[in-house]
Amino acid sequence: MYKILNNDLIRDYIDETPQIRSLLLDPDESVDTLDISEIGDGNLNFVYTIRSPRKSVILKQAVPYLRVVGEDYPLSRVRMSFEIWALEAEKALVPEHVPEIYYSSHEMSLVVMQNLDRHKILRGEMIQRVQFPHLAEHISTFLADTLYYTSDFYLDPAIKKENVKKFINIELCKITEDFIFTHPYEDNETNAYNPALDREHVRKFRENGEVKVAVQEMKYKFMTEAQALLHGDLHTGSIMLNPEETYVIDPEFAFYGPMGFDVGIYLANLIMSWYSLDGEDEAYAAYVRGQIADTWNLFAQKFKANMMHHEKERRSLQFDYPDGQKHFEMFTDRFIAQLFTDTVGFAACEMFRRTVGLAKVADVAGIEDLEKRARIEVRVLEAATELITHRRDYTSIDEVLTVLDTQSTE
């Protein structure tokens, strides 16, 4: 039966759950010897580290409300089932980039998994201006493989449709629909922004009809295009890494959606990290720009390679082209061009909401000088406006990087 755990109850739970107990302790060792501490500062769940002399693990439990808002915002615990299923699916595809799952319970809405204690959260590392030589290589692999191998390009159509059904993640999709695609564009009580950010700038994009139409188009895509199993919340706080290894965590927002959403959310977080530098630290700024360019370019190459490698099997897209290879490549290139347009559009939506919506990014929101922060935020809003309204015009990531350089005229 479900109950919300705390430090003491976790001890009891481990004592009565042999699969976890035997991971951590010898039969004659007491659970009292375990060192348990809550580390969760996440928006949704409670997270604990549990250490024994032998091993340390992470225990993550969903509670029946949205942690960042409180008990007044009920949210069903089923989100943990989506996280468990998504971790299992991703682990099968890109084992080197997904933590080990030791135990899971849908009834208790919890998962026990590898403690990535030799790794740090990417966002924090970017704020400290740490460079990671393999990051773009690793994240592009994660994206290319999870998105390709869960799509109709690879899966049997019946299996793919079963997966779509399994991953109907109504409540967390609603959070995204509200907090990314709706509230930031209207006067909503959940919005919060820097008091130094001129209301005029907020009003300007909120009253821009072109922006609103474009956001609506992106929202409709998000709601209707079940292309692949997405992570669903791939910001830089969902990545843990060290110079050698990169892990993607926290896939509770997983569902079947448009591929460009995952790519766009990630690139937007890199873009906001770049803006947070505010022209300082040229070397780190060049590194971040390199990450933006390399992630997209490597992703596009790897996704295309997956498409072409399995071309003979394209199980759900059997078609007798006059020149099979050439025409399938033409189809693939067109698909990737559309994916790029979607990526740019979703990136812009993330940039808007991380500036004026409920959830911020520490890279920018952590800047103590509010005037400086506001100057950066205006640039983010202006770039997002440009990107979303002209997303169909860009053909390369270099063109997107050029937009980032545009200075405010005011």
User: Where does this chain bind ligand SR1 (CB under 6 A)?
Assistant: 43, 66, 68, 175-176, 179, 233, 358-359
Smallest gap from Cβ 110 to Mg ion, in A, equals 16
Smallest gap from Cβ 262 to Mg ion, in A, equals 13
Smallest gap from Cβ 296 to ligand SR1, in A, equals 21
| Closer to Mg ion by Cβ: residue 233 or 382 | 233
Task: Work out whether 250 is an interface residue with Mg ion (CB under 5 A).
Answer: yes
- The CA angle 138-179-176, to the nearest 5 degrees, is 50
Smallest gap from Cβ 269 to ligand SR1, in A, equals 10
From ligand SR1, Mg ion, none, which one binds at residue 59 (CB under 5 to 8 Å depending on kind)? Answer: none
Of the candidate spans 98-106, 111-119, 156-164, 243-251, the one that interacts with Mg ion by CB under 5 A turns out to be 243-251
Smallest gap from Cβ 250 to Mg ion, in A, equals 4
Q: Dig out the tokens for 370 from the structure.
A: 């509010």
Smallest gap from Cβ 33 to Mg ion, in A, equals 31
| Closer to ligand SR1 by Cβ: residue 142 or 261 | 261
| Closer to ligand SR1 by Cβ: residue 68 or 92 | 68
From ligand SR1, Mg ion, none, which one binds at residue 365 (CB under 5 to 8 Å depending on kind)? Answer: none
| Closer to ligand SR1 by Cβ: residue 25 or 175 | 175
Smallest gap from Cβ 236 to ligand SR1, in A, equals 11
Q: How far apart are CA 84 and CA 110, in angstroms?
A: 8
Q: How far apart are CA 137 and CA 139, in angstroms?
A: 6
In the region spanning residues 179 to 238, those forming contacts with Mg ion, defined by CB under 5 A, are: 233
Length of the chain: 410
| Closer to ligand SR1 by Cβ: residue 9 or 68 | 68
| Closer to ligand SR1 by Cβ: residue 190 or 406 | 190
Q: Note whether 386 and 406 are within 8 A (CB).
A: yes
| Closer to Mg ion by Cβ: residue 111 or 344 | 111
From ligand SR1, Mg ion, none, which one binds at residue 202 (CB under 5 to 8 Å depending on kind)? Answer: none
| Closer to ligand SR1 by Cβ: residue 337 or 365 | 365
Smallest gap from Cβ 346 to ligand SR1, in A, equals 13
Output the 3-class SS for the chain: CCCCCCHHHHHHHHHCCHHHHHHHCCCCCCHHHCEEEECCCCCCEEEEEEECCCCEEEEEEECCEECCCEEEEECCCCHHHHHHHHHHHHHHHCHHHCCCEEEEECCCCEEEEECCCCCEEHHHHHHCCCCCCCHHHHHHHHHHHHHHHCCCCCCCHHHHHHHHHHCCCHHHHHHHHHHCCCHHHCCCCCCCCCCCCCHHHHHHHHCCHHHHHHHHHHHHHHHHCCCEEECCCCCHHHEEECCCCEEECCCCCCEEECHHHHHHHHHHHHHHHHHHCCCCCHHHHHHHHHHHHHHHHHHHHHHHHHHHHCHHHCHHHCCCCCCHHHHHHHHHHHHHHHHHHHHHHHHHHHHHHHHHCCCCCHHHHCCCCHHHHHHHHHHHHHHHHHHHHCHHHCCCHHHHHHHHCCCCCC
Q: Which of 351, 143, 301 is nearest to 230 (CA)?
A: 143
Smallest gap from Cβ 171 to ligand SR1, in A, equals 11
| Closer to ligand SR1 by Cβ: residue 174 or 309 | 174
Chain residues binding Mg ion by CB under 5 A are 233, 250
